[in-house]
């Protein structure tokens, strides 16, 4: 369980995040949705203290994160982002094993876990274990990134547009397997995206952010039915409009 | 060539010691400093600025500056900490070379770490690395190729620059080059150049192979290159230790400035001391002129030969001569004793004067015999002087006394001066009266008819320490007084300069002749 309480981040006079409060339940996937610059990434990074809040509190399982050393906190929380950041001088297996090693797991447990988690992200361990990151396709790198985030069996996973750079087919596949994976593991997820469709498909609840503020927080259904304001309504109507346009095209092509 | 080869192991080992220690210190300081700069950006201008300034100082000057700088520092440490730093020899060379090696390593460390993809830094933080783990496991490994490139640049620079540590009293491959240039022994110059180039290439390649091995994870390459590096370090350290341990009796250190006559005289004194007292000796060659004096004053060398007029004009800063020219020698001896506690075991028996020299044929056709004659036609002539001549008191006196005004003047290496006047490149030079090339090139020396140039009796100077601790050496040196006349010295200089004989051989022959 993650609680944000009146969380705020300022850079000089610029307010990046303007006092947001929310709660992510255990096993839930909360999507933070908004345009670039709305403060969603900053909010996410304040959870594992990659960004230190100017004011407000983050609590994990009731514990104030300021009480925990930053690096120790991050070892408990999986983190993945769009640019992946696989270490080029390490093999796939070594990349995945980074956090377990930092935690001092015994080598044989690490080896077992690496194979297990690679298999879970649909990369055959025998084939991929010893590969260098540069030998992988973009989609494969994203999978390794996800495996690295999950390797130390974290209860919480923070993802910042992790599938943003993928082609549509790969993205579709990886989104489906991701939902399966997180349900199997029971991981609590905070997921940042600017893609409406992705938010609707993956989120148990969606928090819409605009100019540093949390505009509305609710299930996809609630957001679609009762948007809090014109911005949310506009946002929610976009995928529907697109779907209708696609259907019209398909319909006219069929006739 | 063969007599040069005999010297190679010693010079090469000394050069290797200088290079490895300076590079080790340079890397040991620069890499952490570079890391610090990437953590505290406010330090960057100061630190990189300092290293850049060190780099822009001409390397020869940087080495030379270290001598008075360390002497000043040594005076402070002597006062507050109870020990004096050695301002001549290894220490100034190591300090200067270390400073010189810093910029490329420092700059590349900063550039290498800053060049690491920000996504990787974010990933390293995200997976839970501490700042230290991030540095050691991500930033330094990824910056390694850039840092190594800086280290290789520094290596090549330091190997080359280390040849310039000879004049501050540290033996190096520069001993070949400096003494070779002065004694016109181009085999020696070539030997020094080839050996230092080969050493630079060897070290550069060893580091390159080490890096390739590390980056590609090839254990055999890493092991091979580390092995070679380790062997070089052991060799350098081992020979250093052996030299210290194997020495039961401290050697008498005999200094020489950087010209032929000095090499010959230091050999004569060294061989004479060895023969008379059985004490081991060590040559400290090619010292700068004032470096040699400072070295004997502080006891870093025990003995060397200098010239009464040089001390009178340059060190005592006397602008006029006493009524009796003979009083100069006594004045110098008293000054050395009273001001610095330096003893003068004796004068060797000849003068090596500064004198204005020109081609005999030109002097005859212009009808010139004295400096006064020269002054009348100087406006049409060009003068060449050794590197320090125009800054010396003697030149100021000559200019003032005779009203000398030449069309142009040029400073040049004394080794090239005689050739320059013989070939007509200049008309007049600041010759040394005992130089063998005066006769060889048919030059004449113009008479100092107003007597402004002080007498230059060649004298032996012994350190206060030698006076205290080795009276038998001092007594032996006193027995050498008056044994060398001007003709003998000219002959010996010529034999080295023209015939390419080694100063050691020439000295040995001379001493053998004395014995009869």
> Where does the pLDDT of residue B479 fall: very low under 50, low under 70, confident under 90, or very high at 90 and above?
very high
% of chain A with per-residue pLDDT over 90: 70
Interchain contact, A81 vs B122, CB within 8 Å: yes
Sheet containing B252-257: give its strands across: B281-287, B252-257, B303-307, B457-462, B343-351
Instruction: Report whether pLDDT(A75) > 90.
Output: yes
What's chain B's average pLDDT? 88
How many Å separate Cα B440 from the centre of its chain? 28
More confident of the two residues B4 and B148:
B148
Q: Please say if the pLDDT value at position A23 is more than 70.
A: yes
Whether the CB of B129 is below 8 Å from some CB of chain A: the reply is yes
Q: Is A211 left (phi over 0), alpha (psi -120 to 50) or beta?
A: left
Which residues are paired to B430 by β-bridges? Answer: B356
Nearest CA in chain B to A152: B127
**Which residue in chain A is spatially nearest to B129 when comparing CA positions?**
A71
Higher-scoring residue by pLDDT: B439, A254: B439
Is the CB of B141 less than 8 angstroms away from the CB of A89?
yes
pLDDT of residue B246: 60
| Of A80, A84, A86, A81, the residue nearest A134 (C-alpha) | A86
- Predicted confidence band of residue A175 (pLDDT cuts 50, 70, 90): confident
Contact status of B142 with chain A (Cβ, < 8 Å): yes
A89 CB near a chain B CB, below 8 Å? yes
pLDDT at A22: 94
Q: What's the pLDDT score for residue A254? A: 53
Which residue has 């350098």 as its token pair? B236
- Report the pLDDT value the prediction gives residue B168, as an integer from 0 to 100: 84
Q: What's the Cα-to-Cα distance from B308 to each of A49, B352, B475, rounded to whole Å?
A: 77, 10, 21
Mean pLDDT for A61-71 is 93
Structure confidence at residue A253 as a pLDDT band (50, 70, 90): low
B67 touches B291 (CB < 8 A): yes
Please tell me which of the candidates B119, B125, B130 has its beta carbon nearest to residue A50.
B125
pLDDT at residue B439, as a whole number: 84
Q: How much is the pLDDT for A133?
A: 94
- Residue A74: closest C-alpha in chain B: B128
pLDDT at B353: 87
More confident residue, B70 or B383: B383
Task: Select the residue of A71, A84, A86 nearest B128 (Cβ to Cβ).
Answer: A71
pLDDT at B34 > cutoff 60: yes
- Search chain B and give the residue with CA nearest A79: B126
pLDDT of residue B247: 54
Q: Distance, in angstroms, between B1 CA and closest chain A CA?
A: 50
Q: What is the ipTM of this complex?
A: 0.91
Verdict on whether the full-model pTM lies above 0.95: no
Instruction: Work out the pLDDT band at B244, boundaries 50, 70, 90.
Output: low
The DSSP bridge partners found for residue A24 are A2
Q: What is the pLDDT of residues B81-115, one digit of tens each?
A: 777 777 777 888 999 999 989 989 999 999 999 99
**What's the rounded mean pLDDT across residues B263-286?**
90
What mean pLDDT, rounded, does chain A reach? 91
Query: What is d(CA B270, CA B253) in angstroms, rounded to the nearest whole number?
Result: 8
Looking at residues B402-408, what average pLDDT do you find?
91
Q: Do A81 and B119 touch (CB under 8 A)?
A: yes
pLDDT in tens, B482-515: 999 988 999 999 898 888 888 999 999 999 988 6
- Judged against a pLDDT cut of 90, whether residue B135 lies above it is answered with yes
Q: Is A99 within 8 Å of B133 when comparing Cβ atoms? A: no
Residue B15 banded pLDDT, cuts 50, 70, 90: very high
Q: Percent of chain B at pLDDT above 90?
A: 46
**Could you give the CA distance from residue A59 to residue B352 in angstroms, rounded to a whole number?**
90
Mean per-residue pLDDT for A215-242? 89
In this prediction, residues B216-232 reach a mean pLDDT of 87
Tokens 């996937």 appear where? Answer: A29
Could you report the per-residue pLDDT of A117-166, keeping only the tens digit for each? 999 888 999 999 999 999 999 889 999 999 999 999 999 999 999 887 78
- Please report the pLDDT score of residue B322 as a whole number: 79
The pLDDT score that the predictor gives to residue A28 is: 95
> Which chain B residue's Cα is nearest to A149?
B127
Is B126's CB within 8 Å of A81's CB? yes
Q: Kindly determine whether residue A84 and residue B127, on different chains, have CB atoms separated by under 8 Å.
A: no
Whether residues A88 and B142 touch (CB distance < 8 A) is answered with yes
- Whether residue A10 lies within 8 A of chain B, CB to CB, comes out as no
């Amino acid at each position: 369980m993650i609680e944000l309480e009146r969380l705020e981040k300022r850079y000089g006079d610029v307010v990046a995040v303007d006092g947001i409060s929310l709660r992510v339940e255990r096993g839930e996937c909360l999507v933070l949705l908004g345009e670039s610059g709305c403060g969603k990434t900053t909010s996410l990074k304040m959870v594992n203290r990659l960004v230190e809040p100017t004011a407000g509190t983050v609590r994990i399982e009731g514990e104030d994160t300021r009480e925990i050393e930053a690096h120790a906190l991050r070892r408990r929380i999986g983190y993945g982002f769009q640019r992946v950041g696989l270490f080029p001088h390490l093999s796939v297996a070594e990349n995945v094993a980074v956090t377990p090693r930092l935690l001092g797991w015994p080598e044989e447990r690490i080896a077992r876990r690496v194979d297990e988690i690679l298999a879970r992200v649909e990369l055959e361990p025998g084939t991929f274990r010893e590969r260098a990151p540069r030998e992988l396709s973009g989609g494969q790198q994203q999978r390794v990134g996800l495996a690295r985030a999950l390797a130390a069996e974290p209860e919480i996973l923070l993802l910042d547009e992790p599938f943003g750079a993928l082609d549509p087919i790969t993205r579709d596949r990886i989104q489906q397997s991701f939902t399966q994976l997180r349900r199997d593991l029971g991981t609590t997820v905070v997921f940042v995206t600017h893609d409406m469709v992705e938010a609707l498909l993956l989120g148990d609840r969606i928090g819409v952010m605009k100019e540093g503020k949390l505009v509305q927080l609710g299930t996809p259904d609630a957001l679609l039915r009762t948007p809090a304001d014109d911005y949310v309504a506009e946002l929610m109507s976009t995928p529907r409009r697109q779907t209708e346009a696609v259907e019209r095209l398909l319909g006219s092509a069929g006739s | 060539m063969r007599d040069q080869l005999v010297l190679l192991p010693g010079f090469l080992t000394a050069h290797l010691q200088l290079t490895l220690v300076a590079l080790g210190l340079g890397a040991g300081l620069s890499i952490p400093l570079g890391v610090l700069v990437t953590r505290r950006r406010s330090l960057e201008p100061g630190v990189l600025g300092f290293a850049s300034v060190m780099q822009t100082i001409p390397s020869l000057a940087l080495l030379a500056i270290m001598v008075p700088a360390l002497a000043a520092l040594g005076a402070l440490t002597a006062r507050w900490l109870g020990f004096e730093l050695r301002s001549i020899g290894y220490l100034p060379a190591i300090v200067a070379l270390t400073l010189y090696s810093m910029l490329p390593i420092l700059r590349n460390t900063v550039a290498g770490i800053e060049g690491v993809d920000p996504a990787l830094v974010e990933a390293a933080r995200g997976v839970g690395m501490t700042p230290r783990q991030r540095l050691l496991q991500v930033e330094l490994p990824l910056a390694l190729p850039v840092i190594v490139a800086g280290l290789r640049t520094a290596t090549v620079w330091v190997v080359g620059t280390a040849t310039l540590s000879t004049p501050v009293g540290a033996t190096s491959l520069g001993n070949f080059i400096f003494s070779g240039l002065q004694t016109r022994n181009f085999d020696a110059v070539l030997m020094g150049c080839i050996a230092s180039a080969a050493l630079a290439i060897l070290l550069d390649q060893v580091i390159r192979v080490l890096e390739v091995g590390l980056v590609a994870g090839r254990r055999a390459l890493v092991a091979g290159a580390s092995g070679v590096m380790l062997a070089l370090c052991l060799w350098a350290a081992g020979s250093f230790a052996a030299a210290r341990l194997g020495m039961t009796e401290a050697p008498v250190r005999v200094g020489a400035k950087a010209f032929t006559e000095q090499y010959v005289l230091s050999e004569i004194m060294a061989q004479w001391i060895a023969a008379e007292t059985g004490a081991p000796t060590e040559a400290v060659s090619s010292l700068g002129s004032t470096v040699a004096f400072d070295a004997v004053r502080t006891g870093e060398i025990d003995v060397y030969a200098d010239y009464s007029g040089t001390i009178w004009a340059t060190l005592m800063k006397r602008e006029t001569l006493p009524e009796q020219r003979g009083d100069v020698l006594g004045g110098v001896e008293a000054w050395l004793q009273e001001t610095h506690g330096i003893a003068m075991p004796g004068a060797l028996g000849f003068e090596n004067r500064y004198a204005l020299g020109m081609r005999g044929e030109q002097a005859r056709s212009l009808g010139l015999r004295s400096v006064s004659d020269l002054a009348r036609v100087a406006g049409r002539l060009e003068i060449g002087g050794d590197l320090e001549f125009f800054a010396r008191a003697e030149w100021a006196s000559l200019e003032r006394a005779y009203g000398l005004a030449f069309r142009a003047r040029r400073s040049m290496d004394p080794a090239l001066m005689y050739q320059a006047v013989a070939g007509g490149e200049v008309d007049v030079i600041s010759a040394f009266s005992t130089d063998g090339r005066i006769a060889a090139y048919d030059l004449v020396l113009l008479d100092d008819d107003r007597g402004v140039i002080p007498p230059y009796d060649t004298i032996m100077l012994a350190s206060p320490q030698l006076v205290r601790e080795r009276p038998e050496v001092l007594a032996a040196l006193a027995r050498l007084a008056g044994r060398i006349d001007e003709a003998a010295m000219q002959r010996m200089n010529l034999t080295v300069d023209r015939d390419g004989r080694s100063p050691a051989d020439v000295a040995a022959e001379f001493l053998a002749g004395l014995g009869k």
